[in-house]
């Protein structure tokens, strides 16, 4: 029973929250509203999965939101200028990947702790985003070939959800069923043991941070397509949400470890919670307060399970 | 007394591992000042010495973690360079480090196959290979059974095992590489009496399988109990080398401190 609770307790709490809102407010459990929550979950979860991949190698990527904003602005600028959609999308993904690789090199080659390196990258990305837009947003009547990436639906399921399913399934298989994935996890679990067993731990850290950047780029493309605009701070609100999703996700399924399914369930729970609070008439700032409590509470909950993992040392600044 | 090598099996063959005039300096510090050691197939060679005697430097060199400043290494008579732990593993030299060997939260099977996971093709595609978890669990169980360690579930995280079982998992990884020479760095340092006995039994089993073991230990009782021969280092030099037959722990401790037999 104790094992059951420590493995599924927070997931069940999330379910309870969803049921509570469904009962408490009739507007919550409507197909329209659930579809909104799922779409919001998609942005959040794709961004959060990147953070999770970096965290699996025991590195923190605090640049995800600013990198996503920069990638969105680059994509938006190209779409706005009438460039082909594929070029705009590739540029957004490329910008994210480039930032992620820069983070990886700073951590592995320059030996800068990821906490510092990614904060630096975040500042640079933010500056570049404002430089490109000169502080205003790109808004326009953008081609449906671009906006359709995020707006349409297939078989009654929003495209955004399909993107999330594809990305999450790929990452799940990668992490749990491939050699490279297990090397990534081993790097974060026990870097020295992994290195002595012949695993190229520096390469794994670059991979984790690089993928985090790439997924920030992917989130950015979908965000820009979804709202037909690109502003230099558009992903900022997702930052704490993404971190909360990963940390809350670490309290479920494989307690104490960043994991794909936990991140997905946590992302949905957080978005359902935010949505439900608004429907109940809570002020906008209540969300932030709840989010902060969840971040601290999640880590407290999985502290026992995390104690022996390398990334706890990172989280407690002992880089 | 005869040199130890004469009484070892296969004395007419080249030693499994041969170290000649090995030196290692760290800046101004000379950790090893020209050490010659032969390790013969099938023996359990203990390397003893006080802190700072050069044991760790020697182990790092043999395990591939560091290259020597000077001297030569030969494996089965053939001169080699060990550039990395991976390089050493591929040549059949596996090192089991005191605390660093295992990833505590990963499973037994994951630890045994750490860095050398088994995969199987998927859907007959040439490049798509996924982990073969079932085979890894089966083989990991096989290695542990060879060491007479019975754990029901290969997905158990290593952190839930006893100290002796953990050493068995670390040795299991060496068996997975089919290592001929297994180097164990203070394998009983953190263990209780019962677990120590278990680990010494593991070493005897390795020897019974025909594997060669280098044992680094501070525990003289362990050394006289399982080692066939002992090398004593002092201030970066080899001061003694002899069979353990007839030695007791007290005599050995005296030799480690003074470098001479009482």
- Chain A contact set for B86 (CB, 8 A): 198
ipTM: 0.84
- Give the nearest chain A residue to B174 (CA atoms): A197
Rounded to 5 degrees, what are φ and ψ at A213? -65, -45
- Give the nearest chain B residue to A306 (CA atoms): B105
pLDDT at B6: 42
- Chain A contact set for B101 (CB, 8 A): 193, 196
DSSP state of B26: E
The rounded percent of chain A whose pLDDT value lies above 90 is: 50
> What is the rounded radius of gyration, in angstroms, for the C-alpha atoms of chain B?
19
Contact in structure between A226 and A144 (CB atoms under 8 Å): no
Among partner residues B103, B119, B131, which is closest to A190 by beta-carbon distance? B103
Average the pLDDT over B25-31 and give the result: 87
Among partner residues A182, A192, A309, which is closest to B131 by beta-carbon distance? A182
Contact in structure between A16 and A251 (CB atoms under 8 Å): no
Return d(Cα A53, Cα A237) in angstroms, integer. 20
Q: What is the number of other CB atoms lying within 10 angstroms of the CB of residue A223?
A: 28
Q: Which residues contact A269 (CB under 8 A, 6 or more apart)?
A: A11, A13, A14, A17, A18, A248
Return d(Cα B107, Cα B136) in angstroms, integer. 11
Return d(Cα A223, Cα A119) in angstroms, integer. 22
Return d(Cα A231, Cα B37) in angstroms, integer. 69
Over A15-37, what HEC string results? HHHHHHHHHHCCCCCCHHHHHHH
Judge: A190–B102 Cβ closer than 8 Å, yes or no.
yes
Identify the CA nearest to A270 among candidates A237, A301, A303.
Answer: A237
Rounded to 5 degrees, what are φ and ψ at A296? -70, -45
Q: Which residues contact A8 (CB under 8 A, 6 or more apart)?
A: A252, A253
Q: Name which of B86, B115, B153 to mutate to probe chain A: the one with the most chain A Cβ atoms within 10 A of its Cβ.
A: B115
Among partner residues A198, A256, A305, which is closest to B86 by beta-carbon distance? A198
- Give the nearest chain B residue to A304 (CA atoms): B105
Q: Where are the alpha helices (DSSP H) in chain B?
A: 4-7, 55-62, 85-90, 108-112, 133-146, 163-176, 193-208, 220-226, 249-258
Contact in structure between A126 and A70 (CB atoms under 8 Å): yes
> What is the tens place of the pLDDT at every residue in A43-56?
999 999 999 999 99
Q: How far is B35 from chain A (nearest CA, A)?
A: 25
Q: What is the number of other CB atoms lying within 10 angstroms of the CB of residue A22?
A: 16
- Chain B contact set for A197 (CB, 8 A): 85, 114-116, 173
> What is the tens place of the pLDDT at every residue in A247-276?
988 888 887 889 999 999 999 999 998 899
For A237-262, b/e burial (b = at least 16 CB within 10 A) is ebbbbbbbbbbbbbbbbbbbbbbbeb
> What is the tens place of the pLDDT at every residue in A64-120?
999 999 999 999 999 988 899 899 999 999 999 999 999 999 999 999 999 999 999
Ordered by start, the domain boundaries in chain A are 2-315
Rounded to 5 degrees, what are φ and ψ at A152? -75, -175
Return d(Cα A199, Cα A308) in angstroms, integer. 20
Our CA angle for A123, A113, A101, nearest 5°, is 65
Determine the 3-state secondary structure of B95 from DSSP.
strand
Examine the pLDDT at A166 and tell me if it is beyond 90. yes
Q: Name which of B114, B129, B157, B170 to mutate to probe chain A: the one with the most chain A Cβ atoms within 10 A of its Cβ.
A: B114
pLDDT at B8: 47
Task: Indicate if the alpha-carbon torsion angle A201, A203, A206, A212 is positive or negative.
Answer: negative
Contact in structure between A303 and A184 (CB atoms under 8 Å): no
Tally of residues, chain B: 262
Q: Which residues contact B193 (CB under 8 A, 6 or more apart)?
A: none
Q: Which residues contact B200 (CB under 8 A, 6 or more apart)?
A: B188, B222, B225, B226
Average pLDDT, chain B: 85
Tally of residues, chain A: 319
- Give the nearest chain B residue to A190 (CA atoms): B103
Q: Which residues contact B134 (CB under 8 A, 6 or more apart)?
A: none
DSSP state of B3: -
Judge: B100–A182 Cβ closer than 8 Å, yes or no.
no
Number of A/B CB contacts below 8 angstroms equals 67
Return d(Cα A32, Cα A222) in angstroms, integer. 20
Identify the CA nearest to A221 among candidates A123, A146, A143, A131.
Answer: A146
Mean pLDDT comparison of A91-100, A232-241, A290-299, B183-192, highest-scoring range: A91-100
Least confident range of A279-293, A302-316, B241-255:
A302-316
Q: How far is B108 from chain A (nearest CA, A)?
A: 13
Instruction: Quote the crossing angle between the two packed helices B193-208 and B163-176, to the nearest 10°.
Output: 20
- Chain B contact set for A198 (CB, 8 A): 84-86, 89, 115-116
> What is the tens place of the pLDDT at every residue in A190-249?
888 898 888 899 999 999 999 999 999 999 999 999 888 888 888 888 898 899 999 988
Among partner residues B101, B104, B130, which is closest to A308 by beta-carbon distance? B104
Q: Name which of A176, A198, A204, A302 to mutate to probe chain B: the one with the most chain B Cβ atoms within 10 A of its Cβ.
A: A198
Judge: B101–A309 Cβ closer than 8 Å, yes or no.
no
Judge: B173–A257 Cβ closer than 8 Å, yes or no.
no
Average the pLDDT over A288-304 and give the result: 81
Q: Which residues contact A38 (CB under 8 A, 6 or more apart)?
A: A158, A160, A161, A268
Which architecture does CATH list for A2-315?
Answer: Orthogonal Bundle (1.10)
- Chain A contact set for B130 (CB, 8 A): 173, 177-178
- The secondary structure of B134-174 as a DSSP string is HHHHHHHHHHHHHTT---S-TTSBGGGS-HHHHHHHHHHHH
- The secondary structure of A161-225 as a DSSP string is HHHHHHHHHHHHHHHHHSHHHHHHHHHHH-HHHHHHTT--HHHHHHHHHHHHHHHHHHHHHHHHH
Q: How far is B102 from chain A (nearest CA, A)?
A: 6
Q: Name which of A56, A177, A192, A196 to mutate to probe chain B: the one with the most chain B Cβ atoms within 10 A of its Cβ.
A: A196
Examine the pLDDT at A279 and tell me if it is beyond 80. yes
Judge: B97–A197 Cβ closer than 8 Å, yes or no.
no
Identify the band that residue B32 occupies on the pLDDT scale cut at 50, 70 and 90: confident
Task: Indicate if the alpha-carbon torsion angle B42, B48, B51, B54 is positive or negative.
Answer: negative
Examine the pLDDT at B109 and tell me if it is beyond 70. yes
Judge: A177–B130 Cβ closer than 8 Å, yes or no.
yes
Rounded to 5 degrees, what are φ and ψ at B98? -50, -65
């Amino acid at each position: 029973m104790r094992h059951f609770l420590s493995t599924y307790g927070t997931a069940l709490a999330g379910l309870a929250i969803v049921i509570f809102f469904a009962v408490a407010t009739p507007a919550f459990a409507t197909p329209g509203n659930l579809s909104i929550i799922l779409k919001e979950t998609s942005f959040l979860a794709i961004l959060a999965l990147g953070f999770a991949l970096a965290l699996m190698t025991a590195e923190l990527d605090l640049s995800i939101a600013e990198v996503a904003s920069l990638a969105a602005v680059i994509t938006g600028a190209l779409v706005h200028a009438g460039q082909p959609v594929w070029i705009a999308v590739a540029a957004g993904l490329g910008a994210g990947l480039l930032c992620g690789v820069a983070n990886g090199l700073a951590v592995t080659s320059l030996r800068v702790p990821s906490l510092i390196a990614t904060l630096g990258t975040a500042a640079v990305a933010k500056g570049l985003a404002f430089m490109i837009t000169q502080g205003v947003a790109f808004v326009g009547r953008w081609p449906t070939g671009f906006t359709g990436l995020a707006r349409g639906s297939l078989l009654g399921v929003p495209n955004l959800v399909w993107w999330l399913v594809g990305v999450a399934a790929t990452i799940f298989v990668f992490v749990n069923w491939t050699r490279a994935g297990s090397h990534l996890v081993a790097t974060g679990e026990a870097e020295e043991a992994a290195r002595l067993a012949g695993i190229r731990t520096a390469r794994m850290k670059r991979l984790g941070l690089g993928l985090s950047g790439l997924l920030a780029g992917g989130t950015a493309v979908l965000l820009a397509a979804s709202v037909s605009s690109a502003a230099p701070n558009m992903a900022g609100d997702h930052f704490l949400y993404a971190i909360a999703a990963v940390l809350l996700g670490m309290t479920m399924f494989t307690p104490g470890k960043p994991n794909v399914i936990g991140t997905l369930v946590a992302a949905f729970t957080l978005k359902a919670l935010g949505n439900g609070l608004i429907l109940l008439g809570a002020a906008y700032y209540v969300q932030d307060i709840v989010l902060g409590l969840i971040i601290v509470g999640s880590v407290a909950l999985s502290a026992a399970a995390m104690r022996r993992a390398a990334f706890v040392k990172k989280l407690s600044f002992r880089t | 007394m005869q040199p130890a090598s004469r009484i070892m099996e296969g004395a007419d063959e080249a030693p499994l591992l041969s170290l000649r005039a090995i030196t290692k300096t760290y800046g101004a510090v000379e950790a090893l000042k020209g050490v010659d050691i032969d390790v013969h197939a099938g023996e359990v060679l203990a390397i003893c010495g006080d802190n700072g005697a050069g044991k760790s430097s020697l182990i790092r060199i043999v395990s591939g973690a560091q290259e020597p400043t000077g001297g030569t290494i030969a494996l089965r008579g053939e001169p080699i360079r060990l550039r990395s732990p991976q390089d050493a593993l591929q040549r059949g030299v596996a090192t089991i480090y005191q605390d660093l060997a295992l990833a505590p939260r990963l499973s037994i099977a994951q630890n045994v196959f750490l860095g050398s996971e088994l995969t199987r093709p998927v859907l007959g595609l040439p490049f798509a290979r996924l982990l073969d978890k079932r085979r890894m669990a089966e083989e990991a169980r096989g290695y542990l059974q060879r060491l007479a360690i019975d754990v029901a579930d290969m997905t158990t995280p290593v952190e839930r095992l006893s100290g002796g079982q953990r050493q068995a998992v670390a040795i299991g990884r060496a068996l997975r590489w089919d290592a001929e020479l297994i180097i164990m760095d203070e394998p009983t340092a953190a263990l209780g009496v019962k677990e120590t006995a278990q680990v010494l039994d593991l070493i005897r089993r390795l020897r019974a399988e025909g594997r060669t073991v280098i044992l680094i230990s501070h525990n003289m009782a362990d050394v006289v109990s399982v080692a066939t021969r002992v090398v004593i280092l002092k201030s970066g030099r080899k001061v003694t080398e002899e069979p353990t037959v007839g030695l007791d722990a007290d005599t050995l401790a005296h030799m480690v401190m003074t470098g001479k037999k009482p």
